[in-house]
Structure 1
């Protein structure tokens, strides 16, 4: 086994101050590797300008980021790709990262959401694995996919649904390199409160349904607000935790303003808690009675759902993308963008404390079985077979 280098998108913040998804995954995997009996060293390539403090689970490899890609850069790259040419703008953006990798001894390079890296690191001595957290090949023809991914040692997808979409976009010679490594969850940071009520005990306060995540249409917080409006007034409190980005004091987006107008027009009690960092998030989750993940897009994995489960919460999630695999039988699945179905699921939890307690216990058990040690063991098994 050799070392692992994580290549995250230039400019992404490897910091607990943000809770950004891919850095959270890297921190989880690297932290589990440090606890492994046969330890594997993990490093992460970091743009020096990104937010600190950095997670301490992986060795930082610092570099100076190139200029940001502009909208015109992306449009020109797409036009080049359609002509069978290289996407030179994105290659320019990743060039400083690639230079930093080439100065390191041979390792597994996990190219997180970066299809461009296997071809850029061809003949470098490194074994490059495309680590897909999203549907990355929507704009790639099969011939371009073969060109950029032909030298990839493997393609890792974070869930079955994403793997199926990725496999469909690739010729058989590349599709057979796909492996599924599901994300884990940090069960020590996220755990139930020490004074959790006994099963069947009456709630001491109004039922609290919480949303946590980026407040954007694809995440569906408006679906939760609409669902709460269908329940009797005073029965449920909705807490929306998050902002469009990673700053509490950022101006509200148009969608965030519309969401607040929707809340004011509703009879439901809705409270907004702007973005919080990962240190504050566990206590917020422990104050809730259920976590709602009402995504309207094909969420590939859903880290927040796992963190809610680790916190001992019943989870109500959209039946879409990778969310059904994350919550399993412990959660309640509803059709996406269906406030009526979501209201019915919340109604069931409010009316039946025993069922709520059963699902909370099942959530915690599922999270414990799928922690970051489990995820790293799965990834390590893939790497050792390459």
Structure 2
């Protein structure tokens, strides 16, 4: 892949550890590992030295001391400055130590994960900088600012076609050709299906994994659970407000629990589980539900569920359909009745659950880390 090394720039404060469920470090880890298996050079990761340990192995870590973060009021002020076509000063100061850590390195392909300011900060450094968008980054950008930001980037890499389409719509016409898609890898090493279970009499176990926040939709599943009796299904909710199993429950989490308790079916709530604990939780389940109410750009949990052999019911929104194809049952977002009906159909049809499980396994194996790295490497070679 040419002579340029790949360096991942992770947002200050974000982690690079299996102890967190955050998408960015997980994707970086999977891509970097796949590169090594393919015989390509080890990737570098620029990382705030105060972040969580242990770190993923298999990369060259370049650490720096981060600057103070940007307050909410500072973000609003920066956005106002940006709309005048100027550089956002506060976020610039926040990213300056990261840019300084990169600037002196040999010329590389720098992937700025959720960091649209980095191409400008590294201007003239010899690095080729691409913006790697895991979420929509340009909603607060006017066309003039977006033109300047993207004009200095080699590419804008989006994790789904849905996110890419939305991004193109927010950019000036002259910059839209820089938008490309590299879909997220599925961790087919960590997540695998269980050994065949002997028949048991327990109800079908329905699993939710994710942060306990409104956009992820756990309340929608809790309301859907009210349609089931104790012999039909049991519901397991895994997650906390943040990536911390000891975090106190928020008012929203308490609301979700109250909604679930109104069901006659059993509902169990477990706190955030790190990546080492997740595979066993998937293997103990029978159906995975991803009830997002926002336009989820991709959703790593979908791939993990498919790789674990779980049939999936998910919201038809954002990049979810492109991840699951025709494998999952898709329902309208924020519609507990439609979700309950889809679950009832799956619960009543074990053969359909097996069919979707097998189809999901095939799709997961087609979207493994090697597949994703091949996409990314080909894109970087074209730049």
Match of 2:365 among 355, 368, 374: 368
1:347 paired residue number: 344
Match of 1:14 among 13, 16, 36: 16
Contact 1:66 1:96 in 2 (8 A): yes
Give the secondary structure class of the aligned counterpart of 2:325: helix
Give the secondary structure class of the aligned counterpart of 1:176: helix
Aligned length: 381
Q: Does 1:212 align with 2:214?
A: no
2:141 paired residue number: 140
Contact 1:19 1:277 in 2 (8 A): yes
Cα distance, 1:19 vs structure 2: 2.1
Give the secondary structure class of the aligned counterpart of 1:329: coil
* Separation in 2, partners of 1:25, 1:57: 13
Structure 2 vs 1, CA of residues 120 and 50 (structure 1 numbering), >3 Å: closer, same or farther? Answer: same
* Separation in 2, partners of 1:241, 1:189: 18
Cα distance, 1:59 vs structure 2: 1.1
| 1:267-323 residue CA offsets vs partner (Å, 9 max, x unmatched) | 231100101110000000000001100000000001001100000000111000000
Contact 1:219 1:296 in 2 (8 A): yes
Give the secondary structure class of the aligned counterpart of 2:326: helix
2:63 paired residue number: 62
Cα distance, 1:203 vs structure 2: 4.9
* Separation in 1, partners of 2:204, 2:162: 33
Contact 1:119 1:149 in 2 (8 A): no
1:305 paired residue number: 302
Match of 1:263 among 244, 251, 260: 260
Match of 1:288 among 285, 296, 300: 285
Contact 1:234 1:269 in 2 (8 A): no
* Separation in 2, partners of 1:317, 1:54: 31
2:7 paired residue number: 5
State the TM-score, normalized to the length of structure 1: 0.97
* Separation in 2, partners of 1:384, 1:229: 52
Task: Extract structure 1 runs of 4+ deviating beyond 3 A.
Answer: none
Cα distance, 1:334 vs structure 2: 0.4
Contact 2:78 2:88 in 1 (8 A): yes
Q: Map of 1:191-202 to 2, 5 A cutoff?
A: 191-196=192-197
1:23 paired residue number: 25
1:127 paired residue number: 128
* Separation in 1, partners of 2:295, 2:354: 29
2:99 paired residue number: 98
* Separation in 2, partners of 1:188, 1:78: 41
1:249 paired residue number: 246
Give the secondary structure class of the aligned counterpart of 1:248: coil
1:35 paired residue number: 37
Cα distance, 1:152 vs structure 2: 0.6
- RMSD of aligned residue pairs (Cα, Å): 1.1
Give the secondary structure class of the aligned counterpart of 2:306: helix
| 1:358-383 residue CA offsets vs partner (Å, 9 max, x unmatched) | 00000111000001110000000000
* Separation in 2, partners of 1:65, 1:305: 33
Structure 2 vs 1, CA of residues 54 and 173 (structure 1 numbering), >3 Å: closer, same or farther? Answer: same
